[in-house]
Structure 1
Protein backbone atom coordinates (compact mmCIF):
# COMPACT_ATOMS: atom_id res chain seq x y z
CA UNK A 1 0.00 0.00 0.00
CA UNK A 2 0.99 3.62 -0.47
CA UNK A 3 0.61 5.38 2.88
CA UNK A 4 1.21 8.96 3.99
CA UNK A 5 2.53 9.37 7.54
CA UNK A 6 1.98 12.92 8.82
CA UNK A 7 4.37 13.77 11.61
CA UNK A 8 6.95 11.34 10.23
CA UNK A 9 9.84 13.09 11.99
CA UNK A 10 8.37 12.89 15.50
CA UNK A 11 8.73 10.56 18.46
CA UNK A 12 5.98 8.25 17.20
CA UNK A 13 5.99 9.13 13.50
CA UNK A 14 9.63 8.32 12.73
CA UNK A 15 9.62 4.75 14.10
CA UNK A 16 6.13 4.19 12.68
CA UNK A 17 7.21 5.25 9.17
CA UNK A 18 10.32 3.05 9.48
CA UNK A 19 8.24 0.03 10.54
CA UNK A 20 5.76 0.54 7.70
CA UNK A 21 8.51 0.99 5.10
CA UNK A 22 9.38 -2.70 5.28
CA UNK A 23 6.10 -3.66 3.55
CA UNK A 24 4.63 -0.45 2.15
CA UNK A 25 5.46 2.59 0.03
CA UNK A 26 5.67 5.36 2.65
CA UNK A 27 5.33 9.09 2.01
CA UNK A 28 6.79 10.98 4.97
CA UNK A 29 5.04 14.29 5.56
CA UNK A 30 5.76 16.97 8.14
CA UNK A 31 5.88 20.74 8.53
CA UNK A 32 9.50 20.87 7.36
CA UNK A 33 10.00 17.72 5.27
CA UNK A 34 10.11 17.07 1.54
CA UNK A 35 6.32 16.65 1.58
CA UNK A 36 5.05 19.51 3.69
CA UNK A 37 1.83 19.72 5.61
CA UNK A 38 0.64 21.77 8.55
CA UNK A 39 -2.65 20.48 9.93
CA UNK A 40 -3.42 23.97 11.24
CA UNK A 41 -3.62 25.18 7.61
CA UNK A 42 -6.54 23.76 5.59
CA UNK A 43 -4.85 24.77 2.32
CA UNK A 44 -1.76 22.84 3.36
CA UNK A 45 -3.79 19.65 3.80
CA UNK A 46 -5.31 20.01 0.35
CA UNK A 47 -1.90 20.76 -1.17
CA UNK A 48 -0.43 17.66 0.47
CA UNK A 49 -3.09 15.43 -1.06
CA UNK A 50 -2.49 17.04 -4.45
CA UNK A 51 1.27 16.51 -4.11
CA UNK A 52 1.11 12.86 -3.04
CA UNK A 53 -1.56 11.80 -5.53
CA UNK A 54 -2.79 8.22 -5.43
CA UNK A 55 -2.72 6.84 -1.86
CA UNK A 56 -4.29 3.98 0.04
CA UNK A 57 -4.09 5.44 3.51
CA UNK A 58 -3.04 8.31 5.71
CA UNK A 59 -1.90 8.29 9.33
CA UNK A 60 -1.70 11.50 11.36
CA UNK A 61 0.65 11.36 14.34
CA UNK A 62 1.49 15.04 14.41
CA UNK A 63 1.29 16.30 17.97
CA UNK A 64 0.87 19.80 19.26
CA UNK A 65 0.14 21.70 22.37
CA UNK A 66 1.73 22.33 25.73
CA UNK A 67 0.66 22.40 29.33
CA UNK A 68 -1.47 25.46 29.98
CA UNK A 69 -3.77 25.99 32.93
CA UNK A 70 -7.23 27.49 32.80
CA UNK A 71 -6.41 30.57 34.85
CA UNK A 72 -2.66 31.02 34.41
CA UNK A 73 -2.35 31.18 30.60
CA UNK A 74 -3.44 33.40 27.75
CA UNK A 75 -6.12 32.24 25.32
CA UNK A 76 -3.38 31.71 22.73
CA UNK A 77 -1.42 29.44 25.09
CA UNK A 78 -4.48 27.60 26.33
CA UNK A 79 -6.03 26.87 22.93
CA UNK A 80 -2.79 25.73 21.26
CA UNK A 81 -3.67 22.66 19.22
CA UNK A 82 -7.26 23.58 18.38
CA UNK A 83 -6.44 24.29 14.74
CA UNK A 84 -3.87 21.54 14.29
CA UNK A 85 -4.72 18.56 16.46
CA UNK A 86 -8.48 18.94 16.66
CA UNK A 87 -9.83 20.78 13.61
CA UNK A 88 -6.83 19.80 11.49
CA UNK A 89 -7.41 16.09 11.94
CA UNK A 90 -11.13 16.48 11.25
CA UNK A 91 -10.25 18.41 8.06
CA UNK A 92 -7.79 15.65 7.16
CA UNK A 93 -10.53 13.01 7.44
CA UNK A 94 -12.87 15.11 5.30
CA UNK A 95 -10.21 15.56 2.60
CA UNK A 96 -9.33 11.86 2.77
CA UNK A 97 -12.97 10.99 2.05
CA UNK A 98 -12.43 12.49 -1.40
CA UNK A 99 -8.77 11.56 -1.95
CA UNK A 100 -7.94 8.15 -0.46
CA UNK A 101 -8.44 5.11 -2.71
CA UNK A 102 -11.54 2.93 -2.36
CA UNK A 103 -11.22 0.62 0.64
CA UNK A 104 -8.42 2.75 2.10
CA UNK A 105 -8.01 4.08 5.61
CA UNK A 106 -7.38 7.12 7.78
CA UNK A 107 -5.89 6.78 11.25
CA UNK A 108 -5.73 9.86 13.47
CA UNK A 109 -4.33 10.42 16.94
CA UNK A 110 -6.11 11.53 20.06
CA UNK A 111 -4.72 10.78 23.50
CA UNK A 112 -5.46 9.70 27.02
CA UNK A 113 -4.97 12.51 29.52
CA UNK A 114 -4.68 12.02 33.28
CA UNK A 115 -7.74 13.85 34.58
CA UNK A 116 -5.95 15.08 37.68
CA UNK A 117 -2.80 16.53 36.10
CA UNK A 118 -2.76 20.32 36.07
CA UNK A 119 -2.47 22.02 32.71
CA UNK A 120 -4.19 19.31 30.67
CA UNK A 121 -7.85 20.38 30.68
CA UNK A 122 -7.75 21.62 27.09
CA UNK A 123 -5.94 18.48 25.90
CA UNK A 124 -8.58 16.37 27.66
CA UNK A 125 -11.36 18.21 25.82
CA UNK A 126 -9.64 17.89 22.42
CA UNK A 127 -8.92 14.19 22.87
CA UNK A 128 -12.45 13.43 24.05
CA UNK A 129 -13.80 15.29 21.04
CA UNK A 130 -11.62 13.30 18.63
CA UNK A 131 -12.58 10.03 20.30
CA UNK A 132 -16.23 10.91 19.76
CA UNK A 133 -15.62 12.02 16.19
CA UNK A 134 -14.02 8.75 15.01
CA UNK A 135 -17.00 6.36 15.22
CA UNK A 136 -19.37 8.96 13.79
CA UNK A 137 -17.02 9.84 10.92
CA UNK A 138 -16.43 6.14 10.18
CA UNK A 139 -20.17 5.68 9.65
CA UNK A 140 -20.20 8.53 7.11
CA UNK A 141 -17.12 7.65 5.04
CA UNK A 142 -17.71 6.72 1.40
CA UNK A 143 -16.23 3.94 -0.72
CA UNK A 144 -15.29 1.64 2.15
CA UNK A 145 -12.72 4.03 3.63
CA UNK A 146 -12.08 3.17 7.28
CA UNK A 147 -11.44 5.71 10.07
CA UNK A 148 -9.80 4.81 13.37
CA UNK A 149 -7.74 6.48 16.07
CA UNK A 150 -4.89 5.63 18.37
CA UNK A 151 -5.18 7.22 21.78
CA UNK A 152 -1.89 6.93 23.65
CA UNK A 153 -1.20 8.48 27.00
CA UNK A 154 2.21 9.82 27.86
CA UNK A 155 4.97 8.23 25.80
CA UNK A 156 7.79 6.83 27.95
CA UNK A 157 10.48 8.42 25.77
CA UNK A 158 8.74 11.81 25.92
CA UNK A 159 8.52 11.68 29.70
CA UNK A 160 12.23 10.83 29.90
CA UNK A 161 13.12 13.70 27.55
CA UNK A 162 11.43 16.19 29.90
CA UNK A 163 13.08 14.73 32.98
CA UNK A 164 10.16 12.67 34.26
CA UNK A 165 9.80 8.97 35.08
CA UNK A 166 9.48 7.08 31.79
CA UNK A 167 7.93 4.06 33.47
CA UNK A 168 4.76 6.12 33.97
CA UNK A 169 4.24 6.15 30.18
CA UNK A 170 3.81 3.72 27.32
CA UNK A 171 6.92 2.77 25.32
CA UNK A 172 6.82 4.13 21.77
CA UNK A 173 7.19 0.59 20.38
CA UNK A 174 3.82 -0.36 21.94
CA UNK A 175 2.19 2.76 20.50
CA UNK A 176 3.61 2.03 17.03
CA UNK A 177 2.21 -1.51 17.28
CA UNK A 178 -1.29 -0.05 17.81
CA UNK A 179 -1.03 1.95 14.57
CA UNK A 180 0.25 -1.12 12.70
CA UNK A 181 -2.72 -3.13 13.97
CA UNK A 182 -5.10 -0.73 12.18
CA UNK A 183 -3.43 -0.85 8.75
CA UNK A 184 -4.81 -4.15 7.49
CA UNK A 185 -8.16 -5.70 8.21
CA UNK A 186 -11.62 -4.35 8.70
CA UNK A 187 -11.38 -2.41 11.96
CA UNK A 188 -13.47 0.74 11.56
CA UNK A 189 -14.70 3.44 13.93
CA UNK A 190 -12.45 2.28 16.77
CA UNK A 191 -10.20 4.09 19.24
CA UNK A 192 -7.24 1.97 20.38
CA UNK A 193 -5.62 2.67 23.75
CA UNK A 194 -2.12 1.15 23.77
Structure 2
Protein backbone atom coordinates (compact mmCIF):
# COMPACT_ATOMS: atom_id res chain seq x y z
CA UNK A 1 0.00 0.00 0.00
CA UNK A 2 1.28 3.44 -0.96
CA UNK A 3 0.39 6.39 1.31
CA UNK A 4 1.04 10.04 0.48
CA UNK A 5 1.52 11.86 3.78
CA UNK A 6 1.20 15.64 3.41
CA UNK A 7 2.58 17.69 6.28
CA UNK A 8 4.83 14.81 7.26
CA UNK A 9 7.33 16.95 9.19
CA UNK A 10 4.85 18.46 11.66
CA UNK A 11 3.81 17.14 15.05
CA UNK A 12 0.72 15.34 13.73
CA UNK A 13 2.47 14.19 10.57
CA UNK A 14 5.29 12.71 12.62
CA UNK A 15 2.76 10.79 14.74
CA UNK A 16 1.14 9.39 11.60
CA UNK A 17 4.50 8.43 10.11
CA UNK A 18 5.57 6.63 13.28
CA UNK A 19 2.27 4.72 13.45
CA UNK A 20 2.11 3.69 9.78
CA UNK A 21 5.71 3.39 8.64
CA UNK A 22 6.15 -0.32 9.36
CA UNK A 23 3.01 -1.34 7.47
CA UNK A 24 2.77 0.81 4.35
CA UNK A 25 5.03 2.58 1.88
CA UNK A 26 4.96 6.27 2.81
CA UNK A 27 5.78 9.13 0.47
CA UNK A 28 6.38 12.22 2.58
CA UNK A 29 5.38 15.68 1.38
CA UNK A 30 5.88 19.07 2.99
CA UNK A 31 7.40 22.46 2.24
CA UNK A 32 10.96 21.17 2.82
CA UNK A 33 12.95 18.06 3.76
CA UNK A 34 10.55 15.48 2.34
CA UNK A 35 10.39 13.07 -0.57
CA UNK A 36 8.44 15.71 -2.49
CA UNK A 37 7.89 19.39 -1.78
CA UNK A 38 4.44 20.97 -1.70
CA UNK A 39 2.81 24.21 -0.65
CA UNK A 40 -0.86 23.41 -0.10
CA UNK A 41 -1.83 27.08 -0.50
CA UNK A 42 -0.90 26.76 -4.19
CA UNK A 43 -2.98 24.64 -6.55
CA UNK A 44 -0.05 24.63 -8.99
CA UNK A 45 2.21 23.19 -6.28
CA UNK A 46 -0.37 20.53 -5.37
CA UNK A 47 -0.72 19.54 -9.02
CA UNK A 48 3.06 19.27 -9.43
CA UNK A 49 3.22 17.06 -6.35
CA UNK A 50 0.65 14.62 -7.71
CA UNK A 51 2.30 14.57 -11.13
CA UNK A 52 5.59 13.70 -9.44
CA UNK A 53 4.16 11.09 -7.05
CA UNK A 54 1.68 9.42 -9.39
CA UNK A 55 -1.03 7.07 -8.22
CA UNK A 56 -1.40 6.18 -4.54
CA UNK A 57 -3.74 4.12 -2.39
CA UNK A 58 -4.25 6.78 0.28
CA UNK A 59 -3.71 10.44 1.02
CA UNK A 60 -3.36 11.67 4.59
CA UNK A 61 -3.12 15.39 5.28
CA UNK A 62 -1.58 16.63 8.51
CA UNK A 63 -1.02 20.07 7.03
CA UNK A 64 -2.62 23.45 7.52
CA UNK A 65 -1.71 26.73 9.15
CA UNK A 66 -3.92 29.24 10.98
CA UNK A 67 -3.54 32.65 12.60
CA UNK A 68 -4.12 32.82 16.34
CA UNK A 69 -5.32 36.17 17.63
CA UNK A 70 -8.30 38.03 19.05
CA UNK A 71 -11.20 38.55 16.65
CA UNK A 72 -11.34 42.29 17.28
CA UNK A 73 -7.69 42.60 16.25
CA UNK A 74 -7.70 40.11 13.38
CA UNK A 75 -7.44 41.43 9.85
CA UNK A 76 -9.05 39.77 6.83
CA UNK A 77 -5.54 38.99 5.57
CA UNK A 78 -4.67 37.17 8.80
CA UNK A 79 -7.91 35.18 8.61
CA UNK A 80 -7.01 34.12 5.07
CA UNK A 81 -4.05 32.15 6.44
CA UNK A 82 -6.46 29.49 7.71
CA UNK A 83 -8.75 29.81 4.70
CA UNK A 84 -5.98 29.38 2.14
CA UNK A 85 -4.04 26.73 4.07
CA UNK A 86 -6.02 24.51 6.43
CA UNK A 87 -9.39 24.90 4.69
CA UNK A 88 -8.89 25.33 0.94
CA UNK A 89 -5.45 23.73 0.96
CA UNK A 90 -6.81 20.45 2.28
CA UNK A 91 -9.92 20.58 0.10
CA UNK A 92 -7.74 21.16 -2.95
CA UNK A 93 -5.73 18.07 -2.04
CA UNK A 94 -9.00 16.18 -2.47
CA UNK A 95 -10.19 17.92 -5.62
CA UNK A 96 -6.85 17.66 -7.41
CA UNK A 97 -5.89 14.30 -5.95
CA UNK A 98 -8.97 12.19 -6.66
CA UNK A 99 -7.78 11.06 -10.08
CA UNK A 100 -4.51 9.86 -8.53
CA UNK A 101 -6.16 7.61 -5.91
CA UNK A 102 -6.69 3.96 -6.72
CA UNK A 103 -10.14 2.41 -6.49
CA UNK A 104 -11.25 1.82 -2.88
CA UNK A 105 -8.54 4.13 -1.60
CA UNK A 106 -8.87 6.64 1.22
CA UNK A 107 -8.39 10.30 2.07
CA UNK A 108 -7.86 11.55 5.62
CA UNK A 109 -7.85 15.24 6.48
CA UNK A 110 -7.05 17.01 9.77
CA UNK A 111 -9.37 19.25 11.78
CA UNK A 112 -9.08 19.85 15.54
CA UNK A 113 -10.73 20.26 18.91
CA UNK A 114 -11.13 24.03 18.56
CA UNK A 115 -14.29 23.68 16.47
CA UNK A 116 -15.95 21.86 19.38
CA UNK A 117 -14.28 23.35 22.45
CA UNK A 118 -13.33 26.96 21.69
CA UNK A 119 -10.57 28.99 23.26
CA UNK A 120 -9.58 32.61 22.94
CA UNK A 121 -7.60 33.64 19.86
CA UNK A 122 -8.67 30.57 17.88
CA UNK A 123 -11.78 31.62 15.94
CA UNK A 124 -9.99 31.45 12.60
CA UNK A 125 -8.62 27.97 13.25
CA UNK A 126 -12.05 26.81 14.46
CA UNK A 127 -13.63 28.14 11.26
CA UNK A 128 -11.25 26.12 9.09
CA UNK A 129 -11.75 22.99 11.19
CA UNK A 130 -15.53 23.26 10.98
CA UNK A 131 -15.39 23.82 7.24
CA UNK A 132 -13.33 20.68 6.72
CA UNK A 133 -15.69 18.66 8.91
CA UNK A 134 -18.68 19.78 6.84
CA UNK A 135 -16.86 19.14 3.57
CA UNK A 136 -15.89 15.59 4.59
CA UNK A 137 -19.39 14.69 5.73
CA UNK A 138 -20.93 15.93 2.50
CA UNK A 139 -18.22 14.79 0.10
CA UNK A 140 -18.33 11.24 1.49
CA UNK A 141 -21.65 10.57 -0.23
CA UNK A 142 -20.20 11.56 -3.62
CA UNK A 143 -16.80 9.88 -3.57
CA UNK A 144 -16.26 7.87 -6.76
CA UNK A 145 -14.83 4.36 -7.20
CA UNK A 146 -15.27 3.33 -3.58
CA UNK A 147 -12.91 6.00 -2.27
CA UNK A 148 -13.44 6.86 1.40
CA UNK A 149 -12.91 10.22 3.10
CA UNK A 150 -12.68 10.99 6.83
CA UNK A 151 -11.07 13.52 9.13
CA UNK A 152 -9.15 13.24 12.38
CA UNK A 153 -9.83 15.91 15.00
CA UNK A 154 -7.08 15.88 17.63
CA UNK A 155 -6.82 17.81 20.84
CA UNK A 156 -3.52 19.44 21.75
CA UNK A 157 -0.83 16.80 21.51
CA UNK A 158 1.54 16.16 24.37
CA UNK A 159 4.36 17.05 22.01
CA UNK A 160 2.84 20.54 21.52
CA UNK A 161 2.56 21.57 25.17
CA UNK A 162 5.58 23.85 25.03
CA UNK A 163 4.27 25.69 21.98
CA UNK A 164 0.51 25.79 22.64
CA UNK A 165 0.09 24.91 26.32
CA UNK A 166 -0.60 28.48 27.51
CA UNK A 167 -3.55 28.72 25.10
CA UNK A 168 -5.11 25.42 26.21
CA UNK A 169 -5.72 26.01 29.91
CA UNK A 170 -7.47 23.05 31.54
CA UNK A 171 -7.19 20.81 28.47
CA UNK A 172 -5.77 17.32 28.85
CA UNK A 173 -3.08 16.79 26.22
CA UNK A 174 -3.44 13.71 24.04
CA UNK A 175 -0.74 11.16 23.27
CA UNK A 176 0.70 11.12 19.77
CA UNK A 177 0.03 7.38 19.67
CA UNK A 178 -3.73 7.97 19.94
CA UNK A 179 -3.65 10.43 17.06
CA UNK A 180 -1.63 7.99 14.96
CA UNK A 181 -4.15 5.25 15.69
CA UNK A 182 -7.04 7.47 14.54
CA UNK A 183 -5.27 7.97 11.23
CA UNK A 184 -4.67 4.21 11.01
CA UNK A 185 -8.40 3.59 11.49
CA UNK A 186 -9.24 6.05 8.73
CA UNK A 187 -6.57 4.85 6.30
CA UNK A 188 -6.89 1.08 6.75
CA UNK A 189 -10.48 0.78 8.02
CA UNK A 190 -13.76 0.69 6.12
CA UNK A 191 -15.67 3.74 7.36
CA UNK A 192 -16.29 6.94 5.44
CA UNK A 193 -17.63 10.40 6.24
CA UNK A 194 -16.42 9.99 9.82
CA UNK A 195 -15.01 12.38 12.39
CA UNK A 196 -12.39 10.65 14.55
CA UNK A 197 -12.19 12.85 17.62
CA UNK A 198 -9.09 12.34 19.75
CA UNK A 199 -9.95 14.43 22.80
State the TM-score, normalizing by the size of structure 2.
0.90
**Aligned counterparts, 1:118-157, within 5 A:** 118-157=120-159
Is the alpha carbon distance of 1:75 and 1:18 closer, same or farther for their aligned partners in structure 2, counting shifts above 3 Å?
same
Give the deviation of 1:166 after TM superposition: 9.2
Q: What are structure 2's unaligned runs of at least 5 residues?
A: none
Match of residue 22 from structure 2: 22
Match of residue 91 from structure 1: 92
Q: How many residues align?
A: 194
Matched, 1:6 2:6: yes
Deviations 1:61-109 (A, max 9, x none): 0131131221113222233221111011111111222110111010001
CA contact (8 A) 2:66 2:85 kept: no
Which of structures 1 and 2 has the larger relative contact order (alpha carbons within 8 angstroms, sep 6+)? 2
Deviations 1:15-67 (A, max 9, x none): 31132120111101001133011110011111111111121000000131131
More helix by share: 2
State the TM-score, normalizing by the size of structure 1.
0.92
CA contact (8 A) 2:63 2:90 kept: no
CA RMSD of aligned residues (A): 1.8
The CA distance in 1 between the partners of 2:165 and 2:156, in whole Å, is: 13
The CA distance in 1 between the partners of 2:20 and 2:83, in whole Å, is: 29
Give the deviation of 1:169 after TM superposition: 2.0
CA contact (8 A) 2:29 2:36 kept: yes
Match of residue 31 from structure 1: 31
**Aligned counterparts, 1:177-192, within 5 A:** 177-192=181-196
**Aligned counterparts, 1:167-186, within 5 A:** 168-186=172-190
Q: What are structure 1's unaligned runs of at least 5 residues?
A: none
The CA distance in 2 between the partners of 1:97 and 1:140, in whole Å, is: 12
Ranges of 4+ aligned residues in structure 1 off by more than 4 Å = none
